[in-house]
């Protein structure tokens, strides 16, 4: 992200929802605390762009990152619910 980027928090939130397909309330705090970090996370978490991988594969990769032994981000397990909500059984 360019340090002079003036993208508003509302624009970043809309972009996150457009790319990732959801918004969790916890992101509000991250966005407020450090918009540059949030932008960097958005770029990382939405790569590759939609279409390069199917929704199920993308969510499983993000889920794996969230719950690895060194990370253990328990709320990251919500990805399982997201998969079911998106009709990605399995």
**Tell me: the pLDDT tens digits for 26-56?**
899 999 999 998 998 888 877 766 677 787 8
CA nearest neighbour of 65 among 34, 89, 41, 31: 41
Q: Does the pLDDT value for residue 69 go beyond 70?
A: no
Compute the average pLDDT of residues 10-33.
Answer: 91
Predicted local confidence at residue 61, as pLDDT: 81
Which residues are within 8 A (CB) of 82 and not within 5 positions of it... i.e. 6 or more apart? 21, 22, 59
Predicted local confidence at residue 1, as pLDDT: 46
* Minimum mean pLDDT range among 7-16, 24-33, 45-54, 69-78: 69-78
């Amino acid at each position: 992200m360019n340090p002079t980027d003036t993208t508003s928090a509302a624009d970043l939130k809309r972009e996150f929802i457009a790319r990732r397909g959801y918004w969790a309330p916890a992101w509000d705090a991250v966005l407020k605390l450090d918009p540059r970090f949030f932008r960097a996370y958005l770029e990382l978490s939405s790569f590759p762009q939609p279409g390069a991988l199917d929704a199920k594969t993308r969510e499983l990769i993000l889920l794996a990152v969230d719950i690895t032994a060194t990370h253990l981000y328990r709320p990251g397990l919500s990805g399982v619910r997201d998969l079911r909500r998106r009709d990605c059984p399995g």
